[in-house]
Amino acid sequence: MDTKWIKAYYNARGLQWADQKSALLFFLSEVGELAEAYAEVEGVSLSGEETDLLARFAELGLEADEIVSRKPGWIRNNDRLRKQNIAHEAADCNMMLSVFLESYANISPDDALREKMALKLGCHIDELDVFLDVE
């Protein structure tokens, strides 16, 4: 995800850019929210094992949320009491993963993935679109 959108959103909301550790904790919190939302919406189709796993992810997400919430300037904007929106929770994961990777390595998840694909395919990253026949 292009972080220019995230930065503009943060500016519009008066939020500060997260350092790498905080961004990782925010990401883990968002993964927990996604697990919780998915379990709530799709619960009837999940096995007991899957339900338990998603519940553990949700608990760990709350733990990460509790840790990062002690950081000054942190704003909680999801009270976890409203109707779950899986797409929005997945988008939040994408956003916080993007913030983490930019803070950590100054790279986007998309660019990191393209680098990994090129490495695995044995081609140069500039040749990846041709190698994969992607326009």
Residue 133 lies in a domain: no
Residue 34 lies in a domain: yes
For the segment 14-59, what is each residue's pLDDT rounded down to a tens digit? Answer: 888 999 999 999 999 999 999 999 999 998 999 999 999 999 999 9
For the segment 72-83, what is each residue's pLDDT rounded down to a tens digit? Answer: 766 666 555 566
The reported pTM is: 0.87
Axis-axis angle for helices 3-13, 86-105 (nearest 10): 100
- Degrees, nearest 5: CA angle 41-42-44: 120
What is the H or E stretch that residue 15 is in?
none
Q: What is the pLDDT of residue 16?
A: 86
Residue 68 lies in a domain: yes
Domain count for the chain: 1
Domain that includes residue 75, residue range: 3-106
Residue 85 lies in a domain: yes
Torsion angle of C-alpha atoms 113, 117, 120, 122, degrees rounded to 10: -130
What the block records as the tokens of 79 is 């009270």
Residue 124 lies in a domain: no
State how far the Cα of 7 lies from the Cα of 94, in Å rounded to an integer.
Answer: 14
Residue 130 lies in a domain: no
The DSSP result for 80-106, as a single string, is: S-SPP-HHHHHHHHHHHHHHHHHHHHS
